[in-house]
Amino acid sequence: MGEIVNRVAKSSLITIDLEDFYPTGTRTLLDIKDWLYDGLILKEKEFRNTLLKFDWHQFKNHHVALHCSSEAIVPAWAFMLIQTHLHGIAKTVIVGTLETLETVLYTSIIVDLDLSFCKNKPVIVKGCSNKPVPQNAYLLIIEKLQSVAKSIMYGEACSSVPLYKNK
């Protein structure tokens, strides 16, 4: 019987786990429906008064996704006005869903990510995560890796799916 050799550990394979880059901070979905007349109509004066009286400090260091759950047509300036109140309080403010928020957070991280350590090496992007890594983050990392990696796979070293090979 020969010695058991861990070929994965000895290979030049690099594993990237997007969960490692998960941005910290509380995520908050802020529904503005209750700030509209009958949940449907934005009356500027009343809306502005509501925003002035609202306790914005409850969102200190939060990542906030603004949305309206009713069928109301909300003008862009309304969300912009909310941003003026959250400025300097929330870490991030976007209009959309929590998934959109996660995509925005990951986009800013991946854009700034230095992947030079992957130059001409086989890379595997780990698939399973316990944190909410958005699908778009996987697309962003693959796009960025294609310019440097020798090959890209998805999954685990023991059962990966090949995605790209530099020719």
Query: Residue 11 — pLDDT band, cuts 50, 70, 90?
Result: low
pLDDT (average), residues 113-136: 92
Cα(52)–Cα(70) distance, integer angstroms? 22
User: Does residue 73 surpass a pLDDT of 50?
Assistant: yes
Whole-number pLDDT of residue 12: 82
Per-residue pLDDT of 89-107, as tens digits, reads 999 999 999 999 999 999 9
Q: Where are the domains of the chain?
A: 7-23+115-165, 27-90
List, in order, residues 6 or more apart from 127 with CB less than 8 Å away: 154, 155, 156
Cα(52)–Cα(57) distance, integer angstroms? 12
Q: Are 54 and 84 in contact (CB under 8 A)?
A: no
* pLDDT above 70 as % of the chain: 93
pLDDT (average), residues 128-149: 92
pTM, entire model: 0.83
Q: Are 160 and 131 in contact (CB under 8 A)?
A: no
Please, what is the average pLDDT of the chain? 91
